[in-house]
Structure 1
């Protein structure tokens, strides 16, 4: 081992190099234009003639970078611009909570304000579609808080998308920041047979179990926050022969996902917090050709059974946190999961599965050897006793090349609960090249748990090339202390570089 010649660089954390997005409200274009009259006049005086000389197809392409709301302002530039903005191939309308909030004093005011916003958005969508002349539509996306009184409007939007052969349709009818709608929209019959759709996203939209589904071109499907009975799910699988990706988030009513399609390679199943009472008691997944599987469940309510996942390359697993104990159902689901995904090369875990794994190992269970190349662990609140689980994963992953551990709640760490059962691994990590540890250093507990993990990894990763340690929550003084401590650790790899930012 060598302790010399190792560079530890301290990088300054800066602002993200991203532009600031501007959200516009749902007021009419005319209202927005009045506020920008000066800017519009300058545009008219300088470049309107040259712009107007361009072909419509090029102007539409330019306007498409603005989005439908801001592109609508150009209707004031002249007669030829009056409805050009409505010809954009992608039409996206989303409820926006920005605006004047000082007049909202109570719940009644809030409801009235939201209702007014909803009416404005619906009117805006209706107006846009009414003045549109073109027949080509790539994508229609609408997100707002649905009520029954808008059923005919939504029907009309979908009919418009159907007539214009839209390839992508997205309806987010539960999109809000305050409360959930109690009204559920039912997809109209005209939408169940569509040969043009390639992508469909439905949030808060019910599918009629009596209507046969025929989506021969659909490759991506997302269904969220709705009752999805088993017969409907089976019709989806049989009626979408080229489906590649399916996302079922916050859905209940089904107990079995038997996927025999060779084209469906990505599956995500997620329960949302607060839906335990709606969950089904059992979930079985069988998918011999599946490449990627993401599961996030409430295990107290759902018994997980995984079979025939022989083609799995990428997996993600998480469930609700258990602060004080691990019920038998939790440990059973964790065991079921780890036994059936050991051949995956890329694994993402929440803190709860890692804690459950540590408990299983303490009870005498042995984790199967895996083929992991990349392991990502997302540590959340109350992630106590996590290090033994991490060490267990490392020892069972002899081919691991990349390790990423990220914490969003490092201040909650309890030093007494962080001390691992053992302070080292039983063997070296012969293939580990890259390590990224984010926000794991808590200065109130001596820089733990980052220091414990860093010490073990630096000692055991014999060909380590880079260890990136991100510590946004510490001062410059604390950063210096961490750097000095890291310099005292034995380092096996002569090429290791440690970056502390």
Structure 2
């Protein structure tokens, strides 16, 4: 809202503190101050500041706005943004800050940036989101950040080596998200991860672990753990993560398993999410076998999992260590399995299915892939997974290509004898959908109650 837009037509009745547009006292400006401050909290800080020109009553309402979001600056207006940030922090009252967001190109202004973060901490900030770039790896956070007792959520994204003070205590921190940060030594990392008594969510993405050989993550109340690796930034020699999570419910991994993950006390884990990318490494069977062993170590540690999601090459890579398949754990509680695609000839997939007797939902995120060797597929399907005979009620296929054979769908329909519904996403025109649907209806079904749905 620009100042010019606030100029009213003099022929029109003014909307002010004392009189509403209908001549009574029920105008917006007469709402209680507490409500007005609450309304301002939904506006961006820039818009909230602009309301100060509405009237004398509005002049300083914005100064207690608990949400301060300073996003990326517009090229050529860096100085204006810096002056605006400092003016807001200088004029703001002493009330607490609920959220402070800073996305900024540091360049040569590290001292000023540190003073902004410090100001937020002194106002008992609860959510701190810091994304800094252009610092050339030299920026270090103010020490007060690491002992902020009011902080409940902390997001940090900066391509720098993280330096931490001797004393760290995030006594109320529940969410910690770290991206693109370099951890230079074991002491720094363990200092950070040992001061998190109430942490519930931990997320690492594209972090560098330096010369770490072993890294311990121990948080008694940790529920959600996500680790995404970037092969260009990892320790080439590999790091062993020791994860102690008695309350862990969800573990997600994305990358090429460049590091080893050992889960302890993880019997409460409910959801396991793997997105494994090993296309480039498949030229080396030795590397693929190492990835398979690292995946298998996590599967062995989570036999009570209820929800498993396998994307990328998560299933295929297990086949490079075929000697592990007979040792696959029995997933008695697994009821939901989501796959990137279905390759019927993947022995690891069918071993997981055979070891999941209570599976109820099977979903293919992408598509069913063609069968090149039906005789081999028939061998893999013997014995048929027991869940097909007793529990499997829903099958969902994310995308079906008309050129693919109906053979796989035919096997699924024929052998899932308690199936209630099969949902297939079909991206062709309505005429082709109708022809495909007629083909489906001719296929034999083990369950006469099965409903086939095209989306």
TM-score (norm 2): 0.82
Query: Is the 1:95–1:117 Cα contact (8 Å) retained in structure 2?
Result: no
1:238 to 181, 194, 201: 194
Query: Is the 1:209–1:231 Cα contact (8 Å) retained in structure 2?
Result: no
What does 1:144-223 align with in structure 2 at a 5 Å threshold?
A: 144=104, 146-174=105-133, 182-204=136-158, 206-223=161-178
Partner of 1:266: 224
Partner of 1:357: 318
SS at match of 2:120: helix
Structure of larger gyration radius: 2
1:398-455, CA deviations, whole angstroms, 9 ceiling, x for partnerless residues?
1112223212xx6xx974669694154613422223333212x123x23x6xx55533
- Could you say what the CA RMSD is over the residues aligned between the two structures, in angstroms? 3.2
1:335 to 296, 301, 315: 296
2:416 to 452, 461, 470: 461
Query: Is the 2:201–2:222 Cα contact (8 Å) retained in structure 1?
Result: yes
What does 1:92-491 align with in structure 2 at a 5 Å threshold?
A: 92-95=69-72, 113=75, 116=76, 118-144=78-104, 146-174=105-133, 182-204=136-158, 206-228=161-183, 229-253=185-209, 254-272=212-230, 274-276=232-234, 278-279=235-236, 281-289=238-246, 290-299=248-257, 301-322=258-279, 324-325=282-283, 326=285, 327=287, 328-361=289-322, 365-370=326-331, 371-379=333-341, 388-407=347-366, 415=370, 421-423=376-378, 424=381, 426-429=384-387, 430-439=390-399, 441-443=400-402, 445-446=403-404, 451-471=406-426, 473-491=427-445
Figure out how many residues of one structure are paired with residues of the other and give that number.
429
Structure 1 unaligned spans of 5+: 1-31, 98-112, 175-179
- Cα gap change, 1:62/1:245 in structure 2, threshold over 3 Å: closer, same or farther? same
Deviation at 1:457, TM superposition (A): 3.1
SS at match of 1:79: coil
Structure 1 distance, partners of 2:445, 2:199, is 48
Does the alignment pair 1:68 with 2:25?
Answer: no
Query: Is the 1:354–1:386 Cα contact (8 Å) retained in structure 2?
Result: no
Query: Is the 2:228–2:255 Cα contact (8 Å) retained in structure 1?
Result: yes
2:56 to 79, 85, 107: 79
Structure 2 distance, partners of 1:191, 1:91, is 17
Structure 2 distance, partners of 1:361, 1:279, is 26
Deviation at 1:78, TM superposition (A): 2.6
Higher RCO (CA-CA < 8 Å; seq separation 6+): 1
Deviation at 1:225, TM superposition (A): 0.9
SS at match of 2:171: coil
2:35 to 46, 58, 63: 58
1:89-135, CA deviations, whole angstroms, 9 ceiling, x for partnerless residues?
222222277xxxxxxxxxxxxxxx3xx25544434332322332241
1:272-302, CA deviations, whole angstroms, 9 ceiling, x for partnerless residues?
35324x4551223232513322222333x43
- Cα gap change, 1:493/1:85 in structure 2, threshold over 3 Å: closer, same or farther? farther
- Cα gap change, 1:182/1:207 in structure 2, threshold over 3 Å: closer, same or farther? closer
What does 1:16-55 align with in structure 2 at a 5 Å threshold?
A: 33=2, 37-38=4-5, 41=8, 47-49=15-17, 50-55=27-32
Structure 2 unaligned spans of 5+: 18-26
Deviation at 1:169, TM superposition (A): 0.8
Deviation at 1:490, TM superposition (A): 2.4
SS at match of 2:136: coil
1:253-290, CA deviations, whole angstroms, 9 ceiling, x for partnerless residues?
244343444212322222135324x4551223232513
Structure 2 distance, partners of 1:483, 1:33, is 58
SS at match of 2:340: strand
Query: Is the 1:92–1:141 Cα contact (8 Å) retained in structure 2?
Result: yes
Query: Is the 1:401–1:433 Cα contact (8 Å) retained in structure 2?
Result: yes
1:196-221, CA deviations, whole angstroms, 9 ceiling, x for partnerless residues?
11111111165424422011111111
Query: Is the 2:303–2:329 Cα contact (8 Å) retained in structure 1?
Result: yes
Query: Is the 1:68–1:91 Cα contact (8 Å) retained in structure 2?
Result: yes
Instruction: Name whichever of 120-129 and 390-399 sits farther off.
Output: 120-129
1:160-201, CA deviations, whole angstroms, 9 ceiling, x for partnerless residues?
212211111111224xxxxx7634421111222121111111
Query: Is the 1:206–1:226 Cα contact (8 Å) retained in structure 2?
Result: yes
Query: Is the 1:75–1:82 Cα contact (8 Å) retained in structure 2?
Result: yes
Structure 1 distance, partners of 2:217, 2:68, is 33
1:308-330, CA deviations, whole angstroms, 9 ceiling, x for partnerless residues?
53332222222323155442322
SS at match of 1:347: strand
